[in-house]
Each structure stands twice: as structure tokens, then as C-alpha cells.
Amino acid sequence: MSEPVTYYNRYTRQTETETIYGEGFLRWAYEKPLGRAAVWALVKRSLFSKWYGHRMSQWKSRQRVQPFIEKYHISVEEMAGDPQRFPSFNAFFARRLKPEARPITPEPEDVAFPADGRHFAIPDIGTNDGIFVKGVSFDLTALLGDAALAEKYLRGSLLISRLCPVDYHRFHFPVSGLPGKARLINGPLYSVSPIALRERPTLLWENKRYVTVVKTKEFGEVLCLEIGATCVGSTHQTYRLGAEVAKGEEKGYFTFGGSCVITIFEPGRIKFSPDLLEQSAKGIEMYARMGDVMATKTTTP
């Protein structure tokens, strides 16, 4: 029997089992030889995700909204709009929430989680000996597509925020500052589900992704990355270039699919929250919501 996917919930303080959307297909695609061949031949290619994303944007797809809400216990009370009025499943998927549903940590020295999801922290990228699968080192140069930039952050701290299809799918700035242009690094579109990551952790620095440098007063230059994945119709950047942003302000959103956001800090700038560090040290992701505290400022090196 396949091993279940578990994570630690910050709010219940318990280990919980993840309900995986499309689990049967994912296990076939990433755990079986025939499935792996199909992933290489078709599923990882952008055309497949564009086709699926297009389907989820059609009027007919709105019929999926209510069954999805009921099956995955999506909170209707948190939504900014009426779920009956979404014109498509993708419109529902990229839904906004009421501001009070995700309060932003107010302390200037706090860093906020950029998205709802299951989070994994690496306090020192340079000394990390494995991620999800032991013995696979994190390739920062490949991830950033820039050797000089990777050298600057080699001993920095990194947070992986994995969004499931059942999660709120808008991503936000974890700090206040001045963001630059989102730089595209092209690549395939593998799934970022834990099933896929266990089999191929390198997909985090293989997949199509965007890199944004945010210049801040408190934390130096913070890197914000959005990782594309199978069936993610598109990654949309909604922030205004050239304008200062406040912590918690929307940066963009994903349309249908599981997705991933990565946040990287310069060495010595932050210290992750104790519960996040504890779970990550055990190789376990921690569920937390956007706006909650993920780290605090340390003395500038």
C-alpha cells in the first residue's frame, strides 16, 4: 500500500493526513514505470496544462464548483464573492478572500507566510544535505538561473510553500519593500505534489518559474519565486511594477492546479518560527495560512 502523505497543522497542533486531489493519477504517473513515461511524453509539457487550464475556464466548468466545495470542505464564509456567481471553475479557484480571513502579522520585524499551504524551511541552504528525499542537495544555481545570485544566497534561508488544489491560490508579499520585475525561467511543468517530489525533488529547479527581487529596509533583498506545475493554467503577476508594496499585499495568483512558492533570504537576516523549524528538522511540512508569522528579523550581519 502507498504511504500516506502527512503534515503538521500549526492550528490544531496535530499531524494530519493530506487529502490529495487526483491522488490515483499522481501515484500512477510518478510511482509506476508506465506513468513516468507518460509524464515525460505528455503531462510535463505546457500544451497539456494549457489545454486543461482552458477547460477549467469554460462556462461548463462552473458545475464543478459546488461539488469541489463540499468534497474538500472549502470555507464559503471566507470568500469575498458568492460561490454561485463564479463564471468558471478557474474563477472560483483564483478566488479572493475577505481581508479579515487572513490577518497580516503587524510587527515590522515579522515575516509573513506568502501563501496558504504546507511549508518547509531550510535555515541554511549551504549546509542542507537533502530535501524531501535524503541525499538530494538543493541546487540553488539551477533554481535561480544565475550563478552570481546563487552565490549571494548560498548560506541564506529558504522556505518552500506548497499549495494544494484545495488551497487559496493567491500569493502575497511576505515583507514590505520595492519589488523588481518578475524574471521568467522557462522549463517543464511537472507536478509539485508530495508524491512527485518524493520521486523527483529536482523538479523544483526544473519547472517553469518566476524570480522577483524585493528590496527591503529590514531584510535586505528577498527573493520571491513562483513555481509552475502540471495543470496550472497560468501564473499571473498582479502587483504594480515600480511601486512600494506592503507586507501581505497581493503579488499574483495561480489558475487551476497545485503550485509552489519559494522565499529566499540573505544569510543571517531571519530566524524561522520554532514550530516551523522543529517540523522541518524532522522532514515534515507544516500547514499555515498566508499572513501568519513564518520568521522574525535577526541582527543584520
As a whole number of angstroms, the distance between CA 168 and CA 93 comes to 7
Beta carbons of 213 and 179 less than 8 angstroms apart: yes
Residue of 49, 88, 116, 119 marked active site: 116
Angstrom distances, CA of residue 282 to CA of 67, 118, 134, 156, 200:
35, 14, 12, 20, 19
In a domain, 78, yes or no: yes
> What was the pLDDT predicted at 43?
44
Domain count, the chain: 1
Instruction: Please count the CA atoms within 13 angstroms of the CA of 71 that sit on its side-chain side.
Output: 11
Residue of 259, 273, 280, 292 marked active site: 259
Cell of 47: 500544451
Residue 172 annotated in active site: yes
Mean pLDDT by 10 residues, the chain (301 residues): 81 88 46 47 46 66 89 91 86 91 96 96 82 68 94 95 90 98 86 66 83 97 88 79 97 82 97 97 94 90 50
Residue 54 annotated in active site: no
Residue 259 annotated in active site: yes
pTM of the predicted model as reported, rounded to 2 decimal places:
0.87
As a whole number of angstroms, the distance between CA 183 and CA 173 comes to 16
In a domain, 203, yes or no: yes
In a domain, 12, yes or no: no
Residue of 167, 172, 273, 292 marked active site: 172
> What was the pLDDT predicted at 296?
98
In sequence order, what are the beta bridge partners of 227? Answer: 209, 260
90 is in which domain, residue-wise?
1-7+17-301
